[in-house]
Amino acid sequence: MRKQFVVIGLGRFGGSVTKTLCSLGYEVMGIDKDERKVQEYAAVLTQVYQADSTDENVMKELGVRNMDHAIVAIGEDLQSSILTTLILKDLGIKHVTAKATNDYHQRVLEGLGADHIVHPERDTGVRVAHQVTSKNMIEYLELSPEHSLVEVIAPSSFGGKTLKTLDFRAKYGCSVMAIRRKDNEVVVSPHADELIFEGDMLVMIGRNTDISRFERTFE
Ligand code: ADP
């Protein structure tokens, strides 16, 4: 049996999660208090209900407790987000992912037992700031407050050199996990003797301080 998901709140974020889960072949139940959203998703989902997720009895009637994973995608209405998360945990849902709109919201959701908290606006903001300040930066993913994984276009001065001749790890403090060539060929865990070509994309992991230093060196 494949995992069953319920997405509560079919706004921009919840809608995007829902469509992606469906395209991955998962069964998704959608809930929104707004009739228009329910109509919009009627063509996409077999189970989509107009309901207020802060009403525990309604949630029970819909069989939400049978779901393996719930995603609370309510952003603006703080009270609804909080009450919904509380009810889902009370119903015994094993895994609850909730969207936080700010750090206080995140702390409350954590306190209620949400298993995973996402911060799409904040995370996108961090990524965009890195992308616009560094011409080589393609992707930026925080792994922890101290470490990140980034995708950068290899600076032209790297062209024709190996990781060893660049003295990559010692010089930049980061590890190259993969190289994607222009023709999309990917070299995973490249050897120190692997040549880097102009236009290659490097997937690197490192401390934020080292990654910032790398970004500034090739600004
Ligand atoms: P986004 O920024 O991702 O569009 P919104 O906060 O604007 O997020 O949208 C959240 C969705 O959640 C809306 O469609 C709204 O109707 C729905 N929603 C808000 N509160 C409840 C609730 N108590 N029960 C069910 N759906 C809700």
pLDDT in tens, 2-18: 899 999 999 999 999 99
Q: Flag whether pLDDT at 137 surpasses 90.
A: no
Q: What percent of the chain is predicted at pLDDT more than 70?
A: 100
184-194: burial string, b at 16+ Cβ within 10 Å, e else: eeeeeebeeee
List, for residues 29-39, the tens digit of each pLDDT value.
Answer: 999 999 999 99
The interface pTM score, or ipTM, of the predicted complex is 0.95
Question: Phi/psi of residue 134, each to 5°?
Answer: -130, 120
List, for residues 55-100, the tens digit of each pLDDT value.
Answer: 999 999 999 999 999 999 998 899 999 999 999 999 999 999 999 9
Residue 88 is predicted with a pLDDT of: 98
List, for residues 91-104, the tens digit of each pLDDT value.
Answer: 999 999 999 999 99
CA within 13 Å, CB half, 110: 8
Residue bearing the CA closest to ligand 1, atom 6: 75
> Does residue 31 have its Cβ closer than 6 Å to ligand 1?
yes
Mean of per-residue pLDDT scores for the chain = 94
Q: Which atom of ligand 1 is nearest to the CA of 13?
A: 3
Residue 193 is predicted with a pLDDT of: 96
Name the least confident of 22-36, 69-83, 135-149, 184-198.
Answer: 135-149
**Centre of ligand 1 from the C-alpha of residue 9, in Å:** 4
103-111 vs 78-90: helix axis angle to the nearest 10? 20
Instruction: Kindly list the structural domains of the chain, giving each domain's residue range(s) and its CATH number in brackets, ordered by start.
Output: 4-118 (3.40.50.720), 123-217 (3.30.70.1450)
Q: Flag whether pLDDT at 217 surpasses 90.
A: no
> Does residue 33 have its Cβ closer than 6 Å to ligand 1?
yes
pLDDT classification of 134: cutoffs 50, 70, 90: confident
Name the least confident of 98-102, 124-128, 202-206.
Answer: 124-128
Residue bearing the CA closest to ligand 1, atom 7: 11
